[in-house]
Structures are given as structure tokens and as C-alpha cells.
Structure 1
Amino acid sequence: MAIKENIILEDTTLRDGEQAPGVAFSKETKVSIFNSLVEAGVKWIEAGIPAMKGEEVLALQEILDRKDEVNIIGWNRGVLEDIKYTLSLGFKAIHIGLPTSNIHLKHSVSKDRNWLLTTARDMIKFAKDKGIFVSISAEDVGRTEISFLQEYAGNVAEAGADRLRLSDTIGILNSQQYAQRVCAVREASSINLQCHCHNDFGLAVANTLAGLEAGARYFHVCVNAMGERAGMPDLAQMVMALQHFYQIDAGVDTQQLTSLSYKVAQASGYPISPWQPIVGSNVFAHESGIHVNGMLKDNKTFEPFEPARVGGQRRMVIGKHSGRAILQNILEERGIETEPQTLEHCLSLVRKVAEKHLGGIPAHTLCELYRQAEGAIT
């Protein structure tokens, strides 16, 4: 099945992302990240948890100043008082978190399925009577029987929920299994579905794409794949995968992806891996001789897309695996005319000192090595 053209990206960096262990955004930081998401084109943002009160609410109140230009979601436990408080702040959209697996019902909220079905209906009705957009969870779908998942979907749809979030809470499903659950719920109900996939086995992006292919309309992402445990689907990866594989524009300005990533990395205190897809510092870096030789002739040789498309920069790195072509190119850019024998000796020197220059040998050091090579030959 093809992915719907009207799919909706919802960022939860400020809720699920901030729930990553050790992460705590100040009011100013939270508002700044929210504004950057909006400026990048994100139209749906799960902004936080009002029931936390304190500084969280101060940030949310400032964020709500923009509620007429972006859909701002307030996350709530399955507790009526939480929902009442969230609505009192002026939210036009809420999410209600409720589990559907027996293990979560028993050990997380100490309730049974009858309580779940009744509570879900009552809370949805309360919020819908106030004219609010209501999203509700089926948490831990990986350990929920499909037949009950279908029953629950019909229950919340009949109660008037606008959206059902299918949460693979501990990331235990593969793409086929997650898609199977999306298909099963779609067969039982016409309610809009949202993918919420965790990355415990590194499948969050793949599972989200599979869920969208199976008919889900909404999907969750976090900047830098932040989130509980192994995190969530990465915003940049999802945006670019949808463009590349499905020719779908998620509405995000891709040229802001790298700057947004580094902003959140600084705010969270967790640096970006050089190998982080799309935005990592090594994504457009080239050292291997055969790679660089190809890149010097045609940039498409070893890159799936231009770095400028995501606000990145290409780097040619001088190191142990470099070849003569990159040395000659860099030296000549700095006004040094090279000679084949000297260049060969310079390459040997580069390989000898490479281990002392993790991250690459600077251009000025290469020039010094070339002068050494000249002196050794003469």
C-alpha cells in the first residue's frame, strides 16, 4: 500500500525526547526549541506534560501563545484531573496515555481491561464536550492481543476520539509485526492512527515507515532520535526517507535539519555521533582514496544527496586511507605545485603520522609534510 499524501509529522522532542534519562530543558530552552521547530515547518508538536506543573507550565504557557499557528499537544496520564488542568491552560488538543497490554495494566496502573474501556470512553467524552482534539494511546501494542486492540480501537472511536496512537512502547516489534497491527486496527475502525515506535532494536524509522505504508496517517519523531531508552524515530531521517523513497514532502525545511539537530544536542548535553544519519559530521566526509578520487570527479559518486540540502557541509579528510589525488588537490589549492615522486613520499609520511591526528590531518600539517618530503628527496 502506498503512503498517504496527507500524512502528518508530529514532533515529540519536548515530551518523549525530554524524557530521555538525564535531560531537562529550562523554560527558555524549551521555548527556543519549540520556536525552532515551528520555524523549520513542523505543524504538530507535543510540547510537554502540564501535570508536572512548575517551570514546565511556565514554558507551556509561553508556547501556547502560538497555538493559532501550530497544533500544540498536551500529554496527560489517564487521570481526569490531569486533563482538566491541561484544558484550563488553553490547550486545543490533548493526548491521553493509556496502556492496553495486560502486563502494563497490571503492573503500571494496577487496573483491568474493563476499567480501561470505561475510563477511555469517559475521558474522551469529557474532552470532546469541550470541543478539543483528542488523541489517545494504545500503549504496549507489541504485547497486546490484536483482537483486544481492535476492540479498544472501536471503543475509543465510538467515544469520539480523533486519533489512536499505536505505541510500541518497548520497541519489540519488527516492521512486519507493526504493520500487521496497523492493518488490523484499520480493518476494525476508521479512526486515524498514529505511529509511535521506540528504537530499542534500531527499527524505529523502519517500523514507522511500515506503519505509514499500512495506512497510519500521523507519526511521531524526535530531533536526534531522542527519547526513553534507545529513543524514537529521528526527525531528519524520517523527513529525508519520505522524500527519497516515497517522494513525500513532510513540510519540514530540510536545510534547517542540521542546525536544529546541533541546537537540540547542545541543549540536551548529548553530542551527535559523527555517524548519525543525515546530520552527523562524517556523513559528508571522505577520506578513502578511491572515494575521494570519485568525489573529485563527480559529487554523486559517494553521496546520496548534496549536503546543502540538509544544511550540512562536505569535507575531504586527510588520513591513513587517503590517496595521492586528495593530497595533490589540497596542496595545489594552497599554491603548492606537486611532483609525483615527492607526492608519493608525502603520502608515506601522511600514513605514518595519521594515528596522531584523529579526525584528520590539518591542511597546514599536510603542507609541512610535503616540504619534509621535498627535503628528504633532495
Structure 2
Amino acid sequence: MREDLIIEDTTLRDGEQTPGVALSAKKKIEIFHALIAAGMRWIEPGIPAMGGEEVAALKEMLERRDEVTLIGWNRGVRSDIQRSIDLGFRAVHIGLPTSDNHLKNSVRRDRSWLLGTAKDMVKMAKDQGCFVSISAEDIGRTEPRFLQEYAVAVTEAGADRLRLSDTIGILSPSQYAERVRAVAEVSDIDLQAHCHNDFGLAVANTLAAIEAGVRYFHVTVNGIGERAGMADIAQVVMSLRQWYGVDLGIDTTHLTTLSRLVSDACGISSSPWQPVVGGNVFAHESGIHTTGMLRESSTFEPFCPELVGGERKLLVGKHSGRGVIVHALGQHADGLDETALERLLDDVRAESIALGGAVPPARLREMAAALVTQRG
């Protein structure tokens, strides 16, 4: 694994392409500043060719271009790229497909057109002093030998980075890694992983790509993006930290706040089971789990909630034992002997089933007080 890994966030570009999501300039800028505050130093903030409010937001973001590398995303169209450069982007990305499927059915061109266009677009941007990133889109359906030919062509044209886009998420981790190694065999260009989550493998594919030698990789907050989304920033950052000892410069205590900010901006609530930042990640109810947690938090947590800005919760419900009930009641457990606790445990289970969830603390105290009164 490389020691010069670079994480790049595309929440504000690919992430905003989530169906049904449209971020205002104000919301995009708020997320942008939050990403920088969390330590993100490479950001793909949007698409200049969209014009209008998008450009207004990008202009404001570009005021911080000395602090963070901002990559303007473009189609493989000369006017798009020029617009990004004129706007002030020092780094541009050029989106081009490499699979026969996309060449035929999306852009309706052939491989000769692709190779010529890629070379021309790279040269145009490099001649104006830009860092140039270029895509090989739909690598899962691109013939490996042609992917290699394309990689050599863009390398010779002067591109700084080749983005390997698994456009519809159809590669397994081993297959994605094979594509990375195949390109590395013929070119020393820096590679970037761009993985979609159609089969739930975006994070796994990103890690496999990193192990295979990519330097750059894309993430989004909450894994948002087209269809099933992309690789989630919290999952990738924490996986690299916990399993590989890699510090990407991201302040992990911001991860939960970032997640909530983006959820609110998109109007889409995150699943309580969302890894790392979900509401249930540090919540415990079952008797065995809560007993262990009351003794030592590492028994049922891979890392402490404070590390990611989360909060531990011990809930009382259908699966709880007496220990967590006593813990939850605190001084309100005074006066409850073993028999009363056993009765309260039965009552808690019945109440939890009736409520369809956890018993609120206030209701638990009422139930305990009623038992004490009855026995008094």
C-alpha cells in the first residue's frame, strides 16, 4: 500500500447526482466548509458547465483554492474544460467512457474518436498549466487490453491522473484490483478509484484498489450518489485507520456531524444501521451485550463513539436484562428487591412490545415507582 494516499471527496458532484437531490448554493457551501474543517484537502465541488447558481457556489468555493485542491468536473468537451479553467480551477477532470457499450450507446462514437479526443483534451488543459485528471468510465465492461491502450495514450498526452470508474458497480474487489494492476503494468500514471455501490461493494472495491496500488480514491458523505451510491467516507477512513494504520489527515471526530449535515441538506435520513455514524452503531439493548458494555466497552464496540463524534446509548427494551434496568434507573432503583426487579423486567418486556421499541427513561421510572408503591 502506498504511503502517499490521497482521499478526494465528491459529495458535491457525484453525491449530488443522487436521484431527487438538488442542493442550493448555500447548502453546498456549508457542506464544503465542513469538509475542509474535517481535514479534506481534495474536493470535486461541482460541474461548471451547469451555469447559474452552480457557478455562483463554485466561485465562492474557489476563494479557498489555496487551502484545498478543487477539481472541476467536465465532459470531454473543449468548451466545458475551458469554462472550468476560466472560472479559476487549477485542476480539471475530463469524463470519458472506455467501454464499447458506452461508446456505442451513450456518446455514439468509436475507440478512435475516444483516443483522439482524450489526447486533445489533455493537451489543451496541460497547455494552460492545469492538473489533469481523466476518466476511463465503465471499466467493468471495458476490454482490459483496450483499457491498457487508453492508459498509455493519456499518459503520453501528459495526464496527471487516470480515474478508473466502475460506473455501474459490477466488479468484485478482486476484479477491480485486476484492472488496477493491468493499468500499472503499462503505465506509471497515478490512478484513482471511483467505485459505485450497486452490489454493496463500493467500500470493499476501494480498499482492494488501494491495496493494488491506486494513489487517489473517491468518497462521499453517507455514500450518497447515483443509484445505490458510492464509497462512504466514514467507512473508508475508519477501515484504513483500524486495519492498515493509515492516517489520511481526516479528523474522525467530525464524521458523525458531517453525516447529519449532509442528511439534512439532502432531506434523506440515514439508516440507523449506517456503519460508523448510524444512530444504532453505539446503541445496545440485549442483556448479554449491555452486561458486557457495563463492564468494558470494547466487548461489543470496535472503537469508542468519541472517536467518530458519536454517542453511546444503553437502551431498555424487550431484550434487556436486569443489569441495564438498574443502571438506567440509577437512584430510582432503590427499594427494588430481586423479586420486584424480576417483575419489572416482565413489565418492561410487555411495555416494549406494546410500544414497538425501547421504553423511554421517564416511563421506566414510572413503572419502577409503581412497583415500589404496590410493595410498600
TMscore range, shorter length: over 0.9
Give the structure 2 partner of residue 137 of structure 1: 135
Give the structure 1 partner of residue 210 of structure 2: 212
Structure 2 distance, partners of 1:317, 1:329, is 10
Measure how far apart 1:360 and its partner are. 1.6
DSSP 3-state at the match of 1:167: strand
Partner of residue 291 from structure 1, selected from 289, 292, 299: 289
Structure 2 distance, partners of 1:293, 1:81, is 63
- Could you state the TM-score of these two structures normalised by the residue count of structure 1? 0.98
Q: Structure 2: which amino acid aligns with 1:306?
A: C
DSSP 3-state at the match of 1:116: helix
Structure 2 distance, partners of 1:337, 1:365, is 17
Give the structure 2 partner of residue 101 of structure 1: 99
Give the structure 2 partner of residue 319 of structure 1: 317
Give the structure 1 partner of residue 187 of structure 2: 189
1:95-133 deviation digits (Å, cap 9, x = unpaired): 000000000001110100000000000000000000000
1:2-34 deviation digits (Å, cap 9, x = unpaired): x21110000000000000001111011111100
Measure how far apart 1:224 and its partner are. 0.3
Structure 1 distance, partners of 2:343, 2:333, is 19
Structure 2 distance, partners of 1:332, 1:38, is 42
Measure how far apart 1:377 and its partner are. 4.7
Structure 2 distance, partners of 1:147, 1:233, is 27
Measure how far apart 1:332 and its partner are. 2.2
Contact 1:99 1:105 in 2 (8 A): yes
Contact 2:253 2:309 in 1 (8 A): yes
Give the structure 1 partner of residue 267 of structure 2: 269
Contact 2:348 2:364 in 1 (8 A): yes
Give the structure 1 partner of residue 122 of structure 2: 124
Measure how far apart 1:331 and its partner are. 1.5
- Taking a change above 3 Å as real, the CA distance of residues 323 and 115 of structure 1, as seen in their structure-2 partners, is same
Aligned CA RMSD, in angstroms, stands at 1.0
Measure how far apart 1:357 and its partner are. 3.1
1:29 and 2:30 correspond? no
Structure 2 distance, partners of 1:374, 1:157, is 78
Give the structure 2 partner of residue 202 of structure 1: 200
Contact 1:197 1:233 in 2 (8 A): yes
Structure 2 distance, partners of 1:32, 1:249, is 25
Partner of residue 228 from structure 1, selected from 222, 226, 229: 226
DSSP 3-state at the match of 1:194: strand
Contact 2:39 2:251 in 1 (8 A): yes
Structure 2 distance, partners of 1:125, 1:296, is 62
Q: Structure 2: which amino acid aligns with 1:155?
A: A
Q: Structure 2: which amino acid aligns with 1:206?
A: A
Structure 2 distance, partners of 1:64, 1:161, is 22
Within 5 Å, give how 1:1-378 maps onto structure 2: 3-334=1-332, 336-377=334-375
1:180-214 deviation digits (Å, cap 9, x = unpaired): 00000000100000000000000000000000000
Identity of aligned residues (%): 60
Measure how far apart 1:355 and its partner are. 2.4
1:359-378 deviation digits (Å, cap 9, x = unpaired): 42111111111123334556
1:146-175 deviation digits (Å, cap 9, x = unpaired): 000000000000000000000000000000
Contact 1:50 1:86 in 2 (8 A): yes
DSSP 3-state at the match of 1:170: coil
Contact 1:321 1:351 in 2 (8 A): yes
- Could you state the TM-score of these two structures normalised by the residue count of structure 2? 0.98
Contact 1:331 1:338 in 2 (8 A): no
Structure 1 distance, partners of 2:307, 2:33, is 21
Q: Which moved more, 1:180-189 or 1:366-375?
A: 366-375
1:312-345 deviation digits (Å, cap 9, x = unpaired): 0000011000000001111224463431110000
Give structure 1 stretches of 5+ with no counterpart: none
